[in-house]
A and B are shown apart, each in its own frame.
Chain A
Amino acid sequence: MNNASLRKRLFVWIAAATVVISAISTAASFTLTFEDANELQDAQLVQLTNTLASQSSITPATHFQPKDSEDAETHLAVHVLGTRPLEDDPHIDLLIPESLSSGLHTIDQRGVRWRVMVSTSAGGQRFGVAQRQTVRDEIAEGSALLTLVPIVVLVPLLLLIVHRLLRQGFSRTVQLSAEVDQVDADHLSPLDPSGVPSEALPLVVAVNRLLARLGSVLEQQRRMVADAAHELRTPVAVVRVQADNLGNADLGEDARARLNILQGGLGRISRLIEKLLDLARVQGSTLLQDEVFPFDAEVRRAVEETLPLALQRGIDLGVSRLDPAEASGQPAHAFAVARNAIDNAVRYTPDGGTVDVCLELRGAQILLTVDDSGPGVPADKRERVFEPFFRVLGSQQPGTGLGLAIVRSAAQALRGRVALEARPDGREGTRFAYSQPAAARSAER
């Protein structure tokens, strides 16, 4: 799969095109300016010659003696045809042949190239004004190079602007993918199309339609579970009542023992139905309005409700700390988290064991931990026990396999995190840890 960044690709292509085009335009502009400069110099040469021609007599090399001057304009020499200049100056060391016709010429003499304008003076004297070609070229090059300055300065600036614009244009797309990443099964909120460029808008709309379809499928699944559990209630109630009625009949000891097993099984089925309904309820209630509520009150209630089971099993269920802590969300979800976590801890702890509940407000985080003295959960199973109906092999406990699945769903609804860990004090057992942000009001206290 080739997932090269569109932004990077666009930038590379725009930069390459800019560089190539500006290189061509630089070359063209250099050549044209160079030629223009040569033509201008020719015109100057012609003008100067015409001026000299109006004189009756020409004095060779008397004008524009260049000696020390670096000014290119002065590198001109006036020669009477067929004569050498008087001074021995390499700059004007030139013999213009008499055969040369009037007009502009380029002549090579002893390795030096000259540009010469030949004319006849008013006194009938034939003369030429000469300039070294290298000097002319230097001047032309100088002015041609000057025309390149704006291009050389502006191209990097242009590339910088393009880079900026591209990054800005794609930043909303990057932000959108972050938003898509945050969508989870419990909060299928559609993406916000504001600020999205019109080219990307169809994709956003399509993703939102997909989210809506996904939502309705999930909703159907939830309703299916809830409906199935509801439909099971009446027939199970019938069987339960009839089994209880059987207990009132005149039964032998053997039959009564078997009936007890039957009733135990029916009790477990009833509990399973209740848990299925709890799960459907927790998953389906995300549309309700959030409220700020005391988290500690829900933990207290969860301890109260689990206490009968703990007492029956001789388990020391206690609270080591209970900070007042306010959370935002639905109280029923907080109760579901605490109730099922504590219930689970009590169920998987052998008779006579200990279960410690701790609710701590640490900064802006609410931390709920439940430590048990049970056999512990192997590290590689600690994630999977949150899946519905997953149970650690070998555990004989009559759980429904739904308690921790309910916890996870409720935690997601509260935007909290759950995990099973080894006990931090190194003792045998499991720590259940739940954390979620405290409501702003609580964090201020």
Chain B
Amino acid sequence: MLGSAVRQALLDASYAADWVQTGDAATEALATHDFDLVVLDLGLPGRDGLDVLRTLRGRQVTTPVLVITARDTVDQRIEGLDHGADDYLGKPFAVGELLARLRALVRRRAGAPTPTLSNGILALELATKRVTVDGQETVLSSREFALLQALMMRPGAILSRAQIEHAIYGWGEEVESNAIDVIIHGLRKKIGAGRIVNVRGLGWMVKQNGAAA
């Protein structure tokens, strides 16, 4: 039931999808065909999903595997990742999230030309210091880039003033009391005021999913 619905979702998103319903069929299909991605429901009839995963990894198959499961406590998540899953999605989920994670897995497998930090709107190419906002390239000063990079290391996490100062200034460097505010003011002008959110009393952050809000 879930399988057919997921297959429909993948077809709608223009993926070519094959659907097998048992662990053995999955093992056999993976042995005979070359897939770009595997979506594996752990609640398979006949054979345990983790067992399928083990067999797969035992044969040196490196195809990315996204595991879907109703068991999602932290311990079970870790167990799944230990068995070679590339990502984990707990039931029930929105199709949008499934597709986003699959895209990320495909990208990771293709190998990004340079490491990039992205939250869907903002993208920072670390090697070339290229910054794009919604696809539009923007030029940032080195301080601005360093500050944005610190925030983009973990979108959604709040960094305090002290943490940001520590990230962009070296030891012993004099920091003006309003230096961070000045840099953020400049940054907001270039990338849009709403891209960096101030959280009263805690610090600043960039949104986890820039496209959503």
Contacts and interface: CB of A to CB of B under 8 A. Distances in A.
Are A and B a genuine interacting pair, yes or no?
Answer: yes
Interface of A: 230-231, 233-242, 244-245, 248, 266-267, 269-270, 273, 281, 300, 303-305, 307-308, 311-312, 316-322, 357
Given A234-B70, A320-B201, A322-B201, A241 B95 contact: yes
A245 B4 CA distance: 11
Which 9 residue pairs across A and B have the least CB separation, nearest first? Answer: A318-B200, A319-B201, A244-B95, A237-B92, A237-B91, A248-B12, A241-B5, A233-B91, A233-B70
Given A237-B68, A307-B205, A318-B201, 20 more contacts: A231-B70, A233-B90, A234-B43, A234-B92, A235-B1, A237-B91, A237-B93, A238-B5, A241-B6, A241-B8, A245-B9, A300-B158, A303-B158, A304-B157, A305-B156, A316-B200, A317-B200, A318-B202, A320-B200, A322-B201
A291 B140 CA distance: 44
Nearest to B71: A230
Contacts of B96: 244
A236 B9 CA distance: 15
A319 B161 CA distance: 14
Interface in B41-87: 43, 68, 70-71, 73
Q: Is the interface of A mostly helix, strand, loop or mixed?
A: helix
Contact of B94 (A230, A235, A244, A321): A244
Contact of B199 (A241, A248, A281, A307): A307
B92 A270 contact: yes
A238 B12 CA distance: 16
A242 B92 CA distance: 12
Interface in B196-213: 197, 199-202, 205, 207-209, 212-213
B155 to A, nearest CB: 10
A427 B61 CA distance: 63
B2 interface: yes
18 contacts: A233-B70, A233-B90, A234-B91, A237-B2, A238-B2, A238-B5, A239-B92, A240-B95, A241-B5, A248-B9, A304-B205, A307-B158, A308-B208, A311-B197, A317-B200, A318-B200, A319-B201, A320-B201
Contact of B213 (A266, A273, A300, A312): A312
B177 to A, nearest CB: 20
B158 to A, nearest CB: 5
Given A238-B5, A240-B94, A230 B200 contact: no
Nearest to B8: A245
A82 B90 CA distance: 132
Nearest to B3: A238
Contacts of B73: 281
Contacts of B43: 234
B9 A244 contact: yes
A244 B207 CA distance: 24
Contact of B2 (A234, A305, A311): A234
Nearest to B2: A238
Contacts of B71: 230
A319 B202 contact: yes
A236 B92 contact: yes
Contacts of A273: 92
Contacts of A235: 1
Interface in B1-32: 1-2, 5-6, 8-9, 12-13
Contacts of A233: 70, 90-92
A49 B209 CA distance: 130
A339 B156 CA distance: 15
B164 to A, nearest CB: 15
Nearest to B99: A244
A304 B156 contact: yes
A241 B9 contact: yes
A308 to B, nearest CB: 7
B72 to A, nearest CB: 8
A241 to B, nearest CB: 4
Contacts of B13: 248
Contacts of A244: 9, 94-96
A318 B92 contact: no
B118 to A, nearest CB: 17
Given A233-B70, A244-B96, A308-B207, A238 B1 contact: yes
Interface in B164-213: 197, 199-202, 205, 207-209, 212-213
Nearest to A312: B213
A406 to B, nearest CB: 15
A319 B200 CA distance: 6
B200 to A, nearest CB: 3
Contacts of B199: 303, 307, 317-319
A321 B202 CA distance: 9
A135 B82 CA distance: 111
A41 to B, nearest CB: 100
Q: Choose among A239, A242, A244, A300 the residue with the greatest number of B CB atoms under 10 Å from its CB.
A: A244
Contacts of A281: 73
Contacts of A308: 156, 207-209, 212-213
Nearest to A273: B92
A245 B98 CA distance: 12
A242 B12 CA distance: 11
A325 B12 CA distance: 51
Contacts of B9: 241, 244-245, 248
B125 to A, nearest CB: 26
A238 B199 CA distance: 37
